[in-house]
Chains A and B, each alone.
Chain A
């Protein structure tokens, strides 16, 4: 019995030892699909790769957001076929599963997620967003022949599964709300991400470092978490000050642990302090 147990552990350790270096050695360029991912497909040009601040040379506006989440490196290429068109692929390696999930959850917008043991997938008529481990993959298929899209998209999904056999680690905050909210949540890791949902101007009144946005019919619920209740309380006091006599919010009422405000578009914003969290509800239509 003891011998069997030791063997099982050894195997698992071996797998782990094999996988961890494999994952650690993976960069965006090593995971990026290339020419020959399907027969007849070639790269339009040599794949480009950037790391760190050089991301600004790939993304025309919005690189800051990836930096906020925690960006490691990216690789991009256009793949083309003489008869089937072309597809553009960007492969982002973020510095954690949570960061990659965060970008994926924000970029998907309000679209439904295919939750898999492998990559999580969001797709539309001519695009794909995928999340697997620390990788976020964006696929633009607007120049693909419609008849080729399904095959290309399925192949790219399979490619990522094979290249990154990681078990996706979801942020703990997301796991708290997962059952009810899988398709509608966006995971935030800073104020820029929040500004994609609602802009509070150039200030950062909520000192956002981690949050979750849940889409509902008439509003968005935003759960912002902090190190502890004391930190949350201090920040909430600052938020009260921000909202008071702020021309952006012509109506405001509240104090202590909750408030309600209406912005210039007529949207109702409600906030409550709850332990180490600040709970926001922002109306969708004013």
Chain B
């Protein structure tokens, strides 16, 4: 009997592990609840954050047009889960304008919780290098094009790095989502090099390569992408045509996340050069048939 129970328990655990998805995609009209559910499907925030840890979060919050910024409900849900997992410190690696939070009806309820977070104020566009806040990274192992990066120093000091992009159109790269969102960690000088240092100004291949190279610097521990209402033209700032897949998508594989989200908003992943460059860097998997994707 005991042996039987051990076998059953062992099988259950094995099945549970086997079912942990690579991508959790939750559809609905309540982005806050969808964010909680998406992370729950990945095993809960405790899979990513341990008590006492310091968590860095990067949010695409700088734009004002609807469909061009990460829904603040995604962010509020995330920081709630991170605090509940016992994090000692949450730092936004790019500052968030106080007005951003007011776009959420949840702001009054979570105002005190938001006030417990801090941010890297100096990393506000157009961020300028200072030794207090940024660090120079002359080269990145495995990088093809990028060099002399100027990155937010705390990226290397946090225990956990969570990326909260929005999957939307970008005039130069077609899609901006998980991988491209990391440009928010650079000074403006570094980002401008992505545009100007290639064989031609705004060379799409060069920019895509730089973005993929940038993703080699530090692996993102968790990605939660807003795919609820997003612009598919006029990006990155909008205004543009908005599509509404009504999804929040979570995972740890930036290539897979970008591939999946591109499809959700009607883009061809093959058109997104960043995906291929990221795949070549072994940052993740672009063949979604090889992954476990749970959709609700």
Contact = CB atoms under 8 A, between A and B. Distances in A.
Interface in A163-203: 192, 195-199, 201-203
Interface in B241-296: 243, 266-268, 270-273
A264 B268 CA distance: 9
A195 B233 CA distance: 6
A202 B271 contact: yes
A61 B234 CA distance: 11
B151 to A, nearest CB: 17
A196 B233 contact: yes
A226 to B, nearest CB: 22
Contacts of A198: 233
Contacts of A203: 271
A45 interface: no
B46 interface: no
A197 B202 contact: no
Nearest to A106: B234
A281 B268 CA distance: 21
B172 A192 contact: yes
Contacts of A142: 64
Contacts of A56: 126, 188, 191-192, 195-196
A248 B232 CA distance: 14
Contact of A264 (B63, B170, B172, B266): B266
Nearest to A267: B266
A242 to B, nearest CB: 12
A271 B126 CA distance: 42
Interface in B27-72: 62-64
Given A53-B196, A199-B174, A264-B266, A60 B62 contact: yes
Interface of B: 62-64, 125-126, 169-174, 188, 191-192, 195-196, 201-202, 204, 232-237, 239-240, 243, 266-268, 270-273
A265 B268 CA distance: 11
Contacts of B172: 64, 192
A65 interface: yes
B233 A201 contact: no
Main SS at interface, chain A: loop
Contacts of B195: 56, 63-64
Contacts of B270: 201, 247
Residue picked from A198, A202, A265, most chain B C-beta under 10 Å? A202
Interface string A242-256: 000001100000000
Interface in A186-223: 192, 195-199, 201-203
B233 A197 contact: yes
B125 to A, nearest CB: 5
Given A56-B188, A56-B192, A64 B202 contact: yes
Contacts of A117: none
Contacts of B239: 109
B201 A67 contact: yes
B171 A64 contact: yes
Interface in A142-159: 142
Interface string A91-120: 000000000000000000100000000000
B37 to A, nearest CB: 26
A7 interface: no
A154 B51 CA distance: 57
Most buried by B among A57, A63, A109, A195: A195
Contacts of B243: 265
Interface centre among A53, A63, A196, A197 (most CB of B within 10 A): A196
Contacts of B273: 202
Contacts of A202: 173-174, 204, 271-273
Nearest to B201: A67
Contact of A62 (B64, B126, B171, B268): B171
A10 interface: no
Given A58-B126, A199-B271, A248-B271, 5 more contacts: A53-B201, A57-B188, A61-B170, A61-B236, A67-B201
